[in-house]
Structure 1
Amino acid sequence: MSSDMVERFLAALDPAHREVIGGKARAEQERFAAAWEEELEQDADLDTLDELSPPAAEQEAARRVVERLTD
């Protein structure tokens, strides 16, 4: 997986989650980033948000992924 995707995912996180996920092993960061990318591709609601504000869509997808994978 491209380190760019992990970096983009980390950038989309709020500061508290960025610190937590940034402290995880590289493989775990890649797992979160892959789930984030899938969330962005598959969620139709995010498509609408992405048209209005791509950064907001990325942040919302990141929030959902972290909540889903850390609960």
Structure 2
Amino acid sequence: MPTDPVGRFLAALDPDHRDAVRARPRDEQERLAESWERELLADTDLDTLDELSPTAAEAEAARRVMESDTP
């Protein structure tokens, strides 16, 4: 299991988004990972999901970040 924020973010993404993020520059990957961490901390709905399934909460936060990053 990755311990750095970018690695954890990539692990939470679905395969298609994971490949797309890996193709981006490292600074952009870090920006997305920071957004993902903020989403995990800020959204109280994810707190409940995190209690049931931490992996599902991380995946949902990753989906939201990628959705908001799409123009």
TM-score where L is the length of structure 2: 0.94
Tell me how far apart the structure 2 counterparts of residues 69 and 23 of structure 1 sit (CA, whole Å): 15
Query: Could you list the runs of 5+ residues in structure 1 that have no partner in the other structure?
Result: none
Matched to 1:14, the amino acid is D
TM-score where L is the length of structure 1: 0.94
Query: Could you list the runs of 5+ residues in structure 2 that have no partner in the other structure?
Result: none
Once the two structures are aligned, what percentage of the paired residues are identical?
A: 64
Matched to 2:53, the amino acid is S
Tell me how far apart the structure 2 counterparts of residues 39 and 70 of structure 1 sit (CA, whole Å): 16
Tell me how far apart the structure 2 counterparts of residues 8 and 24 of structure 1 sit (CA, whole Å): 16
Moved over 3 A (4+): none
